Amino acid sequence: MIAYIPEWTVLGQALIAFLVPVLAYGLSQKIYAFTRTGGGEETSRKHKPPVPAATPFHGDYEADLQFIRTAIGGNSDLRSREFPMEKINARGTLFFVDGMQSDRLLNMKIMEFLMFEATAESLAAPPSPDAMFPFRSLTHAPDLESFGRSVLFGHPGLLIEGFPGGLLIECPDGANRAIMEPVSEALLRGPRLGFSEVLSENTSMLRRQGFSDQLEMKSRRVGTRLQKDLVLAYFKDIVNPELLQEVEARISRMEIDFAVESGSVEQLIEDNGFSLFQQAQNTERPDRVISALLEGRVAILLDGTPFALIVPATFSMLLQSPEDYYERWLPASLLRMLRFLAAFLALMAPSLYISFISFHPGLIPTELAISIIETRQGVPFPSLIEVMILEISIEILREAGIRLPKPIGPAMGIVGGLIIGDAAVQAGIVSPFLVIVVAVTAISSFSIPTYSAGITLRALRFLGMLFAAFLGMFGTILFFLLLCSHLTKLKSFGVPYLSPVSPYRLRDWKDLFLRAPLSLMKQRPAMLKTKNSRRRS
């Protein structure tokens, strides 16, 4: 009996393998509870600054003019023009911010209209569809503060002598970059159209995907110091009302000075801020957004960024490409399975190498083991340090290739990788077999369609290497089980992150590892609990 008792090292490994997930689960519970309840939430509510009272228009042209110039006149890019209005027989002052609208339209059409053609009747009521006005719309400002804010937001403001309030003019924006093909999501087949930094252009791209009166967009302002426009897009006859309500509630609870990019919104509305996995998918492609909306998801578009957010997100979405639905189902399924395999290699290949070489060489075929041992002759470092040196070098080269100018970036990555890899082998720092493993790992991470998901797997790869270095194959398996347990527990707006794998829904497996023929995909994902579950209704 004594002969069958394991050695103390094996018992220690088993004890660690039991205690680590228990401690990790308890720590994650405490962190998750802190992030959801928020120790600082009550503090932020208590110290929220009071909202100042709105100042109504005085009705006196000179007094209102002086108030506006005092409130926002300190801005160097603010312009004001006082001019006579012939048909009204009054003076008017136009406030606008330089560069926020077309100067040609403002100077040659709007000013000419206001000076020679505008009448009291046309300015008192909203313009009719038949009116030939050189601007989109004309609205009345409720108070002086909102008038000043709207002018700084890019809407020219008009004060007229004898009029009780102020008018806000909406006209086309200033110069913007042309609509281009998405840079981060290149496809061989599909629409060559990507979002831009102008919110109105992005919403119009969604409208132009097809005609439907059920596509609804809700606009709101986000930011406490600098405000931006944000739009929620969804199909009102498909989306789950509870999901839409949850998205609106989380956005309304956001407290941020300035939402620079949609990534800031993503971090403030996600379920678990301490998870490495993204819980909202970002994309530059309007066709991907529309496809997600037709499944029952919600899109978040922010002014000033070409990246839209799609919620809720699942792990399988990060490995799917829009091109899967443009090709026939069989080659698309093979490519999708190849991506899942590449994701596994990008995550686990270095850990498996360390486990086999350092702890379990007997699991490798004899001839291959002998070949690997021969190539490692003279390498002065253990396998963990050896892998770390090469992996960190590859990551530095990858980051340098991204930051360098485009003409030399790809060449720098390729030439640098070849030179460093060959020099490291010649110097005896790493083995040639490890170079192959690291190269396969790096290439596999490039095949992931979503760049953010690739960053997550690259970060987790180093954690898996540490598990493998301390516990061997036990550590590699433990790392994978902990990762699976975290993904099983993780949710995105109430939807399980591993759905439809966990919880198991066979109906949704038609669009998981394989992509079934479009003729068989007649129902929307059950996990979204949509109003209308049939696609062809």
Strand-pairing partners, residue 408, are none
Could you give the CA distance from residue 492 to residue 312 in angstroms, rounded to a whole number? Answer: 5
CA separation for the pair 133, 122 (Å, rounded): 10
Cβ proximity of 227 and 146 under 8 Å: no
How far are the Cα atoms of 45, 104, 137, 353, 486 from residue 434, in angstroms, in the given order? 54, 62, 65, 8, 30
Q: Are the C-beta atoms of residues 61 and 161 closer than 8 Å to each other?
A: yes
Alpha helices in 278-361 (DSSP H): 286-295, 329-358
**Mean per-residue pLDDT pooled into runs of 10, the chain (537 residues):** 56 66 66 54 46 74 88 83 86 84 74 81 59 67 86 85 83 66 80 86 86 86 86 91 92 89 90 89 92 92 92 90 88 91 92 89 84 81 87 84 70 68 78 87 87 89 92 91 92 90 84 86 86 75
In the structure encoding, which two tokens stand for residue 181, read together?
């093909």
pLDDT at site 410:
65
What pLDDT is attached to residue 1? 43
Annotate 347-367 with b (16+ C-beta within 10 A) or e (fewer): bbbbbbbbbbbebeeeeeeee
pLDDT for the residue numbered 342: 92
Q: Say what the pTM is.
A: 0.76
Instruction: Write the single-letter amino acid at 318.
Output: L
Give the per-residue pLDDT at 172.
Answer: 61
Give the model's pLDDT for residue 213: 80
Q: What angle do CA 323, 324, 329 make, to 5 degrees?
A: 135
- For residue 231, the Cα-to-chain-centroid distance in whole angstroms is 14
Burial class of 143 by CB neighbour count within 10 A (0 to 12, 13 to 18, 19+): middle
List, in sequence order, the alpha helices (H) in 38-60. Answer: 41-46
Residues 6+ apart with CB under 8 A from 126: 137, 138, 139
Contact 358, 382 (CB under 8 A): yes
For residue 101, what is the DSSP state? B
Write out the two tokens for 470.
Answer: 């301390």
User: Which structure tokens are listed for 273?
Assistant: 């801020």
CA distance 353 to 435: 11
Cα torsion 350, 354, 360, 365 to 10°: value is 50
Cα gap 80→156, rounded to integer Å: 10
Burial class (CB in 10 A: 0-12, 13-18, 19+), 531: middle
Is 371 buried (19+), middle (13-18) or exposed (0-12) by CB count in 10 A? middle
Q: Which of 286, 310, 298 is nearest to 180 (CA)?
A: 286
